[in-house]
Structure 1
Amino acid sequence: MALQLAHGTDWSTTLARAVAATPEAFDSAAGSATLRNLIQGDWRPIGRPSPLTTGVDGSTLANLSRLDAETALTAVRHAAAAHRDWAATPLPERKARVVAALDALTEHRDLLAMLLVWEIGKPWRLARADVDRALDGVRWYVDQIERQTAGREPLPGPVSNIASWNYPMSVLVHAELVQLLAGNAVIAKTPSQGGAVCLTVAHALMHRAGLPVALLSGGGEELSEVLVRASEIGAVAFVGGRSNGGKVAAALLDTDKRHMIEQEGLNAWGVWEFSQWDSLAGHLRKGFEYGKQRCTAYPRFVVQRDLVDDFLDVYLPVVKSIRFGHPLAVDSPGDALPELDFGPLISAAKAEELHRKVDEAIRAGAVPLHRGKLSRGRFLDGQTVGSKALSAYVAPTALLAPPGRSRLMHAEPFGPVDTIVVVDTEEELLAAMNASNGALVASLACDDEELAGKLASDLQAFKVGINKPRSRGDREEPFGGRGASWKGAFVGGDLLVQAVTTGGADERLYGNFPQWSALPPNV
């Protein structure tokens, strides 16, 4: 029996709900829409139309309106004026407006989540978790902000946010709302690959609550100079790859702007003198959530040679049982949405790039331990291998011993592809886990926690888990990176507020800066 779309989840219905909720943010026609830009305090129908497609089935969802640099600069200057007024707004009023925005976002929680399903391919459970994490996280800051801002002032200019597509709510909107609580106006650039409709609805609700927010669309080459270097900008928050992150960092070298630049790193899980295999299996499965398209995924396993057989006995059944496919495909229209580990990658181009990297590694000598088949996924009738509707999907893949010249040996795949490296000594373990010159997280599976702690001290990762994974973390727990995975101030909890406020001329932020590097207490 062919799978069908769950009732009421088709894109036309979802888009109509978005337009009905926030009509001011759309130029809409029958079955389609063009997103407006939120600049100069209003939603404006200007910019060059550019289609937004989805990896879910290859269809076009809507059109972005891409701005040029001159228009973006005008928007930045208006945001700077709004920032001055907002910085002078008493904290109780700022809190009240942020809470009003949170209440509106909560009311539309399921719409925001369904937009994420269509735009970036997140399964329903994970899409709702992305929205909930943003809302719950900011409510914690609302309760803490008086303590966090005591003796501190907002930045001299608005915060510019340039974020990737994979966590529009729990990373981008979450950060913006905290920046607003701290007294800063905010500017956000919509990701070009996905999440723009969700962000448009979210920012419309934030704007209605009286928050000084701007949302701009445009290419990085067109807008980065303005959104990074404009003198009016008080801080830059960037989430993305090392290539673009490096360009942002280079553009800031001759400035004193606050910055938080999160870049990719090859997060590794080392297995050394270990026997607790049952506990590892659950971690392995959870690691495939969202196809490993997240900054804290673990795509590299470094395994002691004597333990390879035991590791594979646990690992291979897990990877072969991963559930993937169209995130809205059900047996009957009235059925509940499927419980999948992941859907498509963000685009057909990303899927093709990942296929090339896998083929390259195998030709160079990597051993294909497992190459999943798309035929095992859950897809709608018409989504067949070779069709445009299936072009963004990649089945789980595991490679043993990627060669040193392979791109998969040193770089994060950002997809459901694992590499396994076999080592004989502790020194080899550390070298293989540090292959990408810095990472955000790492973990060690080791029965001797004292030994694991000693090994962890030599890992170039910001957070290291002992017999457990590490994640981004919010609230009390800081977040950052080591080496090339991060540049600038660390964030999370009190450090996020400190990064977007000032505490005096002699203040030293915790972070990974060119001139010095420091870790916050208890990290």
Structure 2
Amino acid sequence: MTLIRKPGTAWGDVFARCRETAPEAFADDRVRNYWGGRWRADGDPVPATSPVDGTSIAGPPRLTAATATGAVRATADAHRRWSTVPLPERRARVTATLDALAAHRDLLALLLVWEIGKPWRLATTDVDRCIEGVRWYVEEIDSMLASRSPLPGPISNISSWNYPMSVIMHSVLVQVLAGNAVVAKAPTDGGVSCLTLAVALAARHDLPITLVSGGGAELSPVLVDSPEIACVFFVGGRSAGSQVAAGLLNSSKRHVLEQEGLNCWGVWEFSDWDGLAANVRRSFEYAKQRCTAYPRYVVQRSLFDQFLAAYLPAVRGVRFGHPLAVEPGQDGFPDLDFGPLIKDTKAKELTDAIDAAIAKGGIPLHRGSLDDGRFLPDQDRSAYLAPVAILAPPPSSPLFHAEPFGPVDTIVLVDTEAELLAGMNASNGALVASLACDDEATAQRLGGELRAFKVGINRPRSRGDRQEVFGGRGASWRGDFVGGALLVHAVTEGPPGERRYGNFPTHAHYPEV
């Protein structure tokens, strides 16, 4: 049966709803930035297309460094005012914002579908996690702020495009609740309209949130180095994160720098293959475009045949395609594991890396076809990549040592525990890791040797919500850890001599997770 786009979900329809909902933030076919208490049409909009099917969508205005500097100074003025607002009033305004976000939840989710290609289920989860997570902080904030005060200046947020609501907006709202003004840089590659709508709803309740957009090379120095900024939150890759870290090298500014790592799943003395197969399928959600994805399996050689018998049917069952493609008359949205990658250039980059790895000796265990996906007739499919699995990628390949950020698995075989640990610690630190192992004592012993912040035993680990602490080891994280009270402690001043948890240049404090 020929598929059609779900009625009422065309980009033009979605953007028209944005203009109707927040006309102050959406003008004609462009979005505005917000600083100094008003929406501004500064900067030249960057042409943008949706990864879903190449449709032209609103791109981020490209501000100059001078304009961004003015926005930071205006945020510092707002910080001086907001830091004196009593907590009950801050709580009431944040709660009103959360109610507004909940009222427009489906529109925010549709923007995520079009801008970053998330299937409907994952898009709504992103919005819901933001709302529900911040509500938890609203309820728990009193004890977290005991004997604490806001930072002396505003907080800067520079984050990647993949989680505009549950990472960027969530952090921003908790920072504001704790008494800080904030400036957020809209991601360049996607999510600008979703974040703009969320900030517009917050601005109506007088929350001190500044929204700017533009190239990282021009704006990041302003958002990191400006003397007004007291704290920097960064979520992204190691290359960009290292540049941010370099700007903080001789600074005493607070910082939370969440960076990528090669998260690995080790398989050792194991037999629950049905359980592993279910986790393999789930691991492909959002095409592994998240910081806690598992793109590497390190497998005991003697178990490889059993691993393969469980792995291949699972990866062949992954469903992907156009997130809005439905059968005529179908209710709801398609149930997909992933849609497109963030850009067609990313799909090409990964395809080239796959071809090069195989040409140099990597063994293609599975290479899916776009013909297996759900697509509209004759749609642009250039940003899509079917699942791929490669055994023994060559050490010269980027797939050997770096996170692919796409639906690509690599598998390495080992014979000893020492090889297992070396294979799982290949990237000098990771956010998460997991071990598939029947014996709990063996798994705990091996897990203690892994350079990952969270280690799962026969289950995946995630970033976590609410009270769960999150951080990284090695090069995957720099600065304060977050989650629960630690997120609030990272953005407030505590008593003199306070010991903070994090991964710092000269030491690291790792709380129990």
The 2-side partners of 1:501 and 1:187 are apart by 16
In the TM superposition, what are the counterparts of 1:106-185 in structure 2 within 5 Å? 106-185=102-181
Match in the other structure for 2:55: 59
The 1-side partners of 2:272 and 2:416 are apart by 20
Check whether the contact 1:5–1:333 (CA below 8 A) recurs between aligned residues: no
Match in the other structure for 1:386: none
Match in the other structure for 1:294: 290
Match in the other structure for 1:519: 510
Check whether the contact 1:437–1:460 (CA below 8 A) recurs between aligned residues: yes
Check whether the contact 2:59–2:192 (CA below 8 A) recurs between aligned residues: no
The 2-side partners of 1:295 and 1:331 are apart by 33
User: Structure 2 residue aligned with 1:371, among 367, 370, 374?
Assistant: 367
What letter corresponds to residue 105 of structure 2 in structure 1?
Answer: R
Match in the other structure for 1:246: 242
Aligned-partner SS, 2:298 = strand
Offset at residue 508 of structure 1 (A): 2.4
Match in the other structure for 2:14: 14
- State yes or no: 1:220 paired with 2:220: no
The 2-side partners of 1:263 and 1:419 are apart by 20
The 1-side partners of 2:183 and 2:462 are apart by 26
Cα offsets for 1:287-307 (capped at 9, x unmatched): 110000000000000000010
What letter corresponds to residue 117 of structure 1 in structure 2?
Answer: V
- State yes or no: 1:406 paired with 2:397: yes
In the TM superposition, what are the counterparts of 1:7-406 in structure 2 within 5 Å? 7-28=7-28, 33-332=29-328, 334-383=330-379, 389-406=380-397
The 2-side partners of 1:364 and 1:429 are apart by 23
Check whether the contact 2:285–2:338 (CA below 8 A) recurs between aligned residues: yes
Runs of 5+ unmatched residues, structure 2: none
Instruction: Answer with 79-88 or 44-53: which moved more.
Output: 44-53
What letter corresponds to residue 231 of structure 1 in structure 2?
Answer: P
The 2-side partners of 1:415 and 1:67 are apart by 30
Match in the other structure for 1:502: 493
User: Structure 1 residue aligned with 2:439, among 439, 448, 452?
Assistant: 448
The 2-side partners of 1:130 and 1:507 are apart by 33
Compared CA separation, residues 335 and 474, structure 1 to 2 (3 A): closer
The 2-side partners of 1:333 and 1:63 are apart by 32
The 2-side partners of 1:394 and 1:410 are apart by 21
What letter corresponds to residue 493 of structure 1 in structure 2?
Answer: G
Offset at residue 504 of structure 1 (A): 2.9
The 1-side partners of 2:448 and 2:491 are apart by 30
Instruction: Answer with 150-159 or 500-509: which moved more.
Output: 500-509
Offset at residue 59 of structure 1 (A): 2.0
Aligned-partner SS, 1:23 = coil
Count the aligned residue pairs. Answer: 513
The 2-side partners of 1:269 and 1:64 are apart by 37
Check whether the contact 1:116–1:195 (CA below 8 A) recurs between aligned residues: yes
Cα offsets for 1:182-236 (capped at 9, x unmatched): 0001110000000000000000000001100000011001111110010000100
Aligned-partner SS, 2:250 = coil
What letter corresponds to residue 120 of structure 1 in structure 2?
Answer: I
Check whether the contact 1:7–1:333 (CA below 8 A) recurs between aligned residues: no
Aligned-partner SS, 2:58 = strand
The 2-side partners of 1:291 and 1:16 are apart by 29
Aligned-partner SS, 2:60 = strand
What letter corresponds to residue 430 of structure 1 in structure 2?
Answer: L
What letter corresponds to residue 441 of structure 1 in structure 2?
Answer: V
Offset at residue 442 of structure 1 (A): 0.0
User: Structure 2 residue aligned with 1:490, among 470, 474, 481?
Assistant: 481
Check whether the contact 1:4–1:333 (CA below 8 A) recurs between aligned residues: no
Identity score, percent = 63
Cα offsets for 1:10-47 (capped at 9, x unmatched): 1110111111111100221xxxx111110111100111
Cα offsets for 1:82-139 (capped at 9, x unmatched): 0011110000000000000000000000000000000000000000000000000000
What letter corresponds to residue 414 of structure 2 in structure 1?
Answer: V
The 1-side partners of 2:184 and 2:415 are apart by 47
Cα offsets for 1:324-383 (capped at 9, x unmatched): 000000111553210000000000011111111111111111000000000110000112
Check whether the contact 1:7–1:334 (CA below 8 A) recurs between aligned residues: no
The 2-side partners of 1:34 and 1:98 are apart by 27
What letter corresponds to residue 14 of structure 2 in structure 1?
Answer: T
TM-score normalised to the size of structure 1?
A: 0.97
What letter corresponds to residue 447 of structure 2 in structure 1?
Answer: A
Check whether the contact 1:122–1:327 (CA below 8 A) recurs between aligned residues: yes
TM-score normalised to the size of structure 2?
A: 0.99
Aligned-partner SS, 2:8 = coil
What letter corresponds to residue 436 of structure 1 in structure 2?
Answer: S
Over the residues paired in the alignment, what is the CA RMSD in angstroms?
A: 0.8
The 2-side partners of 1:408 and 1:223 are apart by 30
Runs of 5+ unmatched residues, structure 1: 384-388
Offset at residue 54 of structure 1 (A): 1.1
What letter corresponds to residue 6 of structure 2 in structure 1?
Answer: A
Instruction: Answer with 144-153 or 505-514: which moved more.
Output: 505-514
What letter corresponds to residue 487 of structure 2 in structure 1?
Answer: L
What letter corresponds to residue 374 of structure 1 in structure 2?
Answer: L
Aligned-partner SS, 2:34 = strand
Aligned-partner SS, 1:38 = strand
Aligned-partner SS, 2:24 = helix
Offset at residue 51 of structure 1 (A): 1.3
Check whether the contact 2:144–2:485 (CA below 8 A) recurs between aligned residues: yes
Stretches (4+) displaced over 4 A: none
The 2-side partners of 1:440 and 1:372 are apart by 28
- State yes or no: 1:468 paired with 2:459: yes
The 1-side partners of 2:356 and 2:500 are apart by 42
The 2-side partners of 1:211 and 1:336 are apart by 35
Check whether the contact 2:147–2:495 (CA below 8 A) recurs between aligned residues: no
The 2-side partners of 1:105 and 1:44 are apart by 22
